[in-house]
Amino acid sequence: MVVQTELADDEIDRIFHALAATTRRDILRRTIEREQSVSMLARDYDMSFAAVQKHVAVLEAAGLVVKRAEGRERLVRADPTMIARARALLDRFESLWRSRVDRLDALLAEEATTLPTATPPPAAGTTPPPDPGIPRPTTEGE
């Protein structure tokens, strides 16, 4: 069996939309642990049964859960294949950003080694040596 890991843009949009709501993330977490009926899920939320059904429908449209009928009940379980695909997408984003940060670190380290070192300030009460890059004012007779 070949598992497709690349997600289309519309699939990515549905996944991020589904995971944007706290209730849907909680439903997903609960259905990862074990298959549950929509009525069992609805008992734990301060919302109507229909509202919970809509949350489940959003998760189902994203492919994150699968719903099946058993008698009069609708059982919901997480789809590990789609969760793995979403995880692979997030891993690619993480890898992209880590490589960008690593390149930035390398650039900053390179820049730090090429910058001229600063001359410490002269001790109190002493005259600083003249800067060779700045012409010294001349006085008459010099």
90 located within any domain: no
Angle between helices 49-61 and 9-19 (to 10 degrees): 150
The mean pLDDT value of the chain amounts to 87
Kindly report the CATH number assigned to the domain that includes residue 42.
1.10.10.10
pLDDT in tens, 78-104: 999 999 999 998 899 899 999 999 899
Closest by CA to 26, choosing from 58, 69, 74, is: 58
Angstrom distance (rounded) from CA 57 to CA 64: 10
**b/e map of 59-68 (b: 16 or more CB within 10 Å)?**
beebbbbbbe
Mean pLDDT computed over 13-35: 96
28 located within any domain: yes
22 located within any domain: yes
4 located within any domain: no
120 located within any domain: no
76 located within any domain: yes
Residue range of the domain that includes 57:
9-83
114 located within any domain: no
107 located within any domain: no
**pLDDT value at position 142?**
56
Domain count for the chain, please give it.
1
Q: What percent of the chain has pLDDT over 70?
A: 82
Higher pLDDT residue, 71 or 125? 71
Look up tokens 């859960």; give the residue: 65
Contacts for 25 with CB less than 8 Å, ≥ 6 apart: 19
Angstrom distance (rounded) from CA 29 to CA 87: 14
Tokens of 57: 């429908």
Half-sphere exposure of 76 (CA within 13 A, CB side): 28
